[in-house]
Amino acid sequence: MIRSKIRGKAAPFQARLQRATLLVAMLALAAGAKGDEFRLFPAPSPAPRHFSGARWDGEPELRLVDLEHSYPWTGGGGPGLSLESTAPASAEEPQEPTPSTQAPPPPPKKLFTTTTTLWTAAALLGGFGQGIGAPIQYGTQSWHFTNEGYFGYDTYAGGADKASHFTVSSGVSRLLYDVYIADGHSVDQSFNLALATTLMAGIFVETGDAITVYGWSWQDLTADFLGAASGLLIHRFCLQDTIGLRLGPANTTIPAAAIGASEESLGESYSDEIYVVDLKLGGLIRRLNGNPGIARYFLTSFAYFTKGFGYAPPLPTRYQEMGFELGINFPEILKEVGVPETTWWGKGLYAFFNFFRIPYTQVGAYYNFKNHKWYGPGAPYHYY
């Protein structure tokens, strides 16, 4: 029998849906953030040189202005000669101040501006709140580690919890990256700060689990890191029109005959969620210099989900499935009907559809690793 266990992100899908929806709403508030501009100051043209000489009678000498820095280098008129007196300037005549050869560079932008500080603190507070949930609900014990594994059949939730950590962390990191960019930070600053903040939030979650019956899981933290890095790379290289990472509900009723004498263990079994990696046809065809036409309204997805995990003793009929789907690309439809991406509500809509998989808006074929059969198109919503 596998030891029953709940992870920090193993709350019911409805609770995770509320938290993720809050993140989407937070993204919309960042629409008005502005960045600073940097200007380059061209070096001034070098001062002209002169031929000088002396006269025996002490009178001022006339000299020829050197043509070395005349046309065409200075952009002035055609070549020519001009006369200039070499008489020293009178003591009564004030000297013109020599202009600075280069303006001082603008001061560097503070990393933790008010906006950046607030968003970073909000993300860390969310991780802290998630981390203290388990100790508050189930009590504490001595610090310890748990080796959960990843996607094996006998692992906790069959790896669905790792897919959840991966997808949620990718969404948090993408949100933070866009906020930091809008606040005027450089690409590198935004990338590093978003990655560090998302990983620290995951550490808060694991710290809370470490002092409960559940224990610290390095596998969870690895999934957090990989998900955050993947989401950031997508946005850093502006691939969000081509690649997406989403999760969604896939509510499934497991028949009593399949459960038998088993009982639900602590937490959820992730039987009500599905995770997808999208390839958006419109962005892909455009990058290949083609005209996507009606194909821009569709996307293909690789899906993963599990059913029947989270019972003690384990259900012998529990299984894992992966599949391939053809679904609707809702952000492209929003663009077609004229929803602006610059308003707070427009940003919220785009962020929502880029993070959530809407049920029954796709068809697919799914492979069951338990009985080695293919099912579809309604496999995520049934128990096989």
| Domain extents in the chain | 13-29+109-381
Return the pLDDT at 314. Answer: 92
Structural contact between residues 325 and 275, judged by C-beta atoms closer than 8 angstroms: no
Q: How many CB atoms lie within 10 A of CB 96?
A: 7
Mean pLDDT of all residues belonging to the chain: 82
Beta strands at 319-328 and 83-85: parallel, antiparallel or unpaired:
unpaired
Return the pLDDT at 318. Answer: 96
Return the pLDDT at 145. Answer: 95
Residue of 267, 264, 296 whose CA lies nearest to 280: 296
Name the β-bridge partners of 363. Answer: 326
Tokens of 322: 């992966």
- Number of helical (H) and strand (E) elements in the chain, helices listed first: 10, 10
Whether the pLDDT of residue 106 is over 60: the answer is yes
Determine the distance from the C-alpha atom of residue 356 to the mean position of all C-alpha atoms in its chain, rounded to a whole number: 15
Structural contact between residues 148 and 219, judged by C-beta atoms closer than 8 angstroms: yes
Classify burial at 283, counting beta carbons within 10 Å of its beta carbon; exposed 0-12, middle 13-18, buried 19 or more.
buried
CA dihedral 88, 94, 96, 98 (to 10 degrees): 80
Return the pLDDT at 361. Answer: 97
**Would you place residue 12 in the very low, low, confident or very high pLDDT band (cuts 50, 70, 90)?**
low
**Rg of the chain on CA atoms, in Å:** 32
* Percentage of residues of the chain with pLDDT beyond 90: 65
Helices (H), the chain: 13-29, 114-131, 133-138, 160-182, 187-210, 218-236, 256-259, 281-287, 330-336, 344-355
User: Any idea which of 15-24, 190-199, 329-338 has the lowest mean pLDDT?
Assistant: 15-24
CA geometry: angle at 124 spanning 118 and 126, to 5°?
100
